[in-house]
RNA sequence: GGAGAGGUGGCUGAGUGGCUGAAAGCGGCACCCUGCUAAGGUGUUAUACUCUUACGGGUAUCGGGGGUUCGAAUCCCCCUCUCUCCGCCA
């Protein structure tokens, strides 16, 4: 959520930037609306505070009068107080409504895109920030898509997943299961080596946490909900990992905070269908290793680059063809100011599959999280949050299977062999 | 799931209707002093909102919400979390 004070100071620049997200004049007016509402809020606040101050003063007076036995005078003041109280209550109600309205409007305003975010409304307009430099692998026409390979080598049983749960819940078995475990271990080890603290968080989160990272109230349709207990299955480890820092005030020397964790991720993906959801391309449950950093505002874009490098190094070690996209305004997540997507080439499907998304949220999340730090000057201000996948398993597995298929089985990349314990899947 | 006890500032811990935004101690910070020196002294030390050029005010907050009252950390109700005992259990 943006801060009204920031909107106030930068309104023209913000409006210009929001046009990249396809905001028309009408939607841009919501920025002006926040300022109007905030002004109303302030004047109500001031007036209400004055009334409360008067009430407090009178109450003290009444106490004194009773003590000195002047009950009659005290009772006279009581009447005055009750008048004040009625009017204060009215003002309080009015202020509550204004605040609710302001909150509602703020929820409709996404993060302000960074200068470098390209114009454009669809994924077609994403900028190829870094392309795969050599030829893409060509496996010929006999190459099998990963769901066929998974079947041939008995790695993943989609049918059993359907039987046990439903579609989109694959059951990994044998070498397929081991490959998952190897990748998880590999990614975690790499993250720890890069200075992230490993954590194993809860997989269910409460409403406050879901709100803190912005899954509520706008994206609740994406999460599985345990209504009876008021809990949500996490759609990404971003939620528990970032909420570690909810209501926290860091010291400047605490930066940077780096945490990583592996969790299953649960997504309803309601309304998805077709070839996009075939095999592992889009599932309701998948494993992901997430990296999260809390950064000083001056450093967050450097941190973003550092995270980019880390993720890139993983793909290089896995020997997968990849490219990096800088998302255009229309494709940018609501809460992000700048996002890079990583895609790997899946050689049998001849498709680029998204395996990671790295974003700088600036203060958009920390404002709701109340994640702050105390600066050198003693002032408390909002910190910046960033996160990225490093990496999401399902699609990595898809690409690994497809790209490494040979007549003699599926080869395991060198870096992964110590983790799988086998060189090839036959 | 049942019974009981409790949630106060960075921490420990006082506080049962008004002078308590909150004693005391510890910790932190600043300054001072110094042949008792891994010591001593003095001051300071929450967050948010708001008014003010500034100095400095005001309001709210003692787990959360509601209520009683002129006035609540203190009384009442609901919720939540923690601890102890019982039950259940990987």
Cis peptide before A391 (omega within 30 of 0): yes
Instruction: Please tell me the distance from the alpha carbon of residue A18 to that of residue A115, in angstroms, as a whole number.
Output: 11
Name the nucleotide with the smallest C1'–CA separation from A249.
B47
pLDDT at A78: 86
Name the nucleotide with the smallest C1'–CA separation from A85.
B70
> Which residue's structure tokens are 């004070």?
A5
pLDDT at A44: 93
For chain A, where do the domains classified as CATH 3.30.930.10 start and end? 123-425
Mark the nucleotides of strand B covered by protein, meaning any atom under 7 Å from a CB: 18-19, 47-51, 57-60, 70-71
CATH class of A4-107: mainly alpha
pLDDT at A136: 85
pLDDT at A272: 67
Separation of A257 CA and B41 C1' (Å)? 39
Q: Which residues are CB-neighbours of A395 under 8 A, at least 6 positions away?
A: A280, A281, A344, A346, A353, A354, A355
pLDDT at A132: 87
> DSSP character for A244?
T
Q: A88-139 pLDDT, tens per residue?
A: 889 988 998 999 999 999 999 999 999 999 999 999 999 999 888 788 888 8
Residues of chain A with pLDDT under 50: none
For chain A, where do the domains classified as CATH 1.10.287 start and end? 4-107
Instruction: Please tell me the distance from the alpha carbon of residue A210 to that of residue A399, in angstroms, as a whole number.
Output: 31
Q: Which residues are CB-neighbours of A79 under 8 A, at least 6 positions away?
A: none
Query: Which protein residue has its CA closest to C1' of B51?
Result: A46
> Minimal CA–CA distance to A280: which of A203, A173, A392?
A392
| Average pLDDT score over chain A | 91
pLDDT at A274: 67
pLDDT at A354: 93
ipTM confidence? 0.85
Instruction: Please tell me the distance from the alpha carbon of residue A171 to that of residue A348, in angstroms, as a whole number.
Output: 22
The answer to whether strand B lies under 7 Å from the CB of residue A96 is no
Separation of A61 CA and B73 C1' (Å)? 22
A123-425 adopts what CATH topology? BirA Bifunctional Protein; domain 2 (3.30.930)
């Amino acid at each position: 959520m943006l801060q009204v004070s920031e909107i106030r100071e930068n309104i023209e620049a913000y409006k210009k930037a929001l046009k990249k997200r396809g905001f028309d004049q009408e939607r841009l007016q919501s920025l002006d609306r926040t300022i109007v509402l905030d002004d109303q809020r302030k004047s109500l606040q001031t007036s209400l505070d004055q009334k409360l101050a008067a009430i407090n003063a009178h109450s003290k007076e009444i106490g004194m009068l009773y003590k000195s036995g002047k009950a009659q005078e005290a009772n006279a003041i009581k009447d005055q107080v009750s008048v004040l109280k009625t009017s204060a209550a009215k003002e309080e109600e009015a202020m509550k409504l204004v605040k609710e309205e302001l909150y509602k409007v703020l929820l409709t305003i996404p993060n302000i895109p960074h200068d470098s975010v390209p114009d454009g409304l669809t994924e077609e307009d994403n900028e190829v920030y870094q392309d795969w430099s050599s030829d893409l692998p060509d496996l010929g026409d006999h190459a099998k898509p990963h769901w066929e390979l998974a079947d041939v080598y008995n790695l993943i049983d989609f049918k059993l997943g359907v039987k046990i749960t439903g579609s989109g819940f694959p059951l990994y078995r044998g070498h397929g299961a081991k490959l998952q475990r190897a990748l998880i271990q590999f990614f975690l080890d790499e993250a720890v080596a890069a200075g992230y603290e490993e954590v194993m968080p809860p997989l269910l989160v409460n409403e406050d946490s879901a709100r803190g990272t912005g899954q509520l109230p706008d994206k609740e349709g994406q999460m599985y909900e345990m209504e009876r207990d008021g809990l949500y299955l996490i759609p990404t480890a971003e939620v528990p990992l970032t909420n570690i820092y909810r209501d926290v005030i860091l010291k400047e020397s605490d930066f940077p905070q780096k945490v990583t964790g592996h969790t299953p991720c649960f997504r309803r993906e309601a309304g998805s269908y077709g070839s996009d959801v075939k095999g592992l391309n889009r599932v309701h449950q998948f494993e992901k290793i997430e990296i999260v950093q809390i950064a000083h505002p001056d450093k967050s874009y450097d941190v973003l680059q550092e995270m980019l490098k880390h993720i890139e190094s993983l793909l290089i070690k896995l020997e997968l063809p990849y490219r990096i996209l800088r998302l255009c305004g229309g494709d940018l997540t609501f809460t992000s100011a700048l996002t890079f997507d990583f895609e790997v080439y899946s050689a049998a499907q001849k498709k680029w599959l998204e395996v990671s998304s790295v974003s700088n949220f600036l203060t958009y999340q920390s404002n709701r999280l109340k994640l702050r730090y105390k600066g050198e000057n003693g002032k408390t201000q909002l910190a910046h949050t960033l996160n990225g996948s490093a990496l999401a398993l399902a699609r990595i597995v898809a690409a690994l299977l497809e790209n490494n298929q040979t007549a003699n089985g599926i080869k395991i990349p060198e870096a992964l062999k110590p983790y799988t314990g086998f060189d090839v899947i036959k």
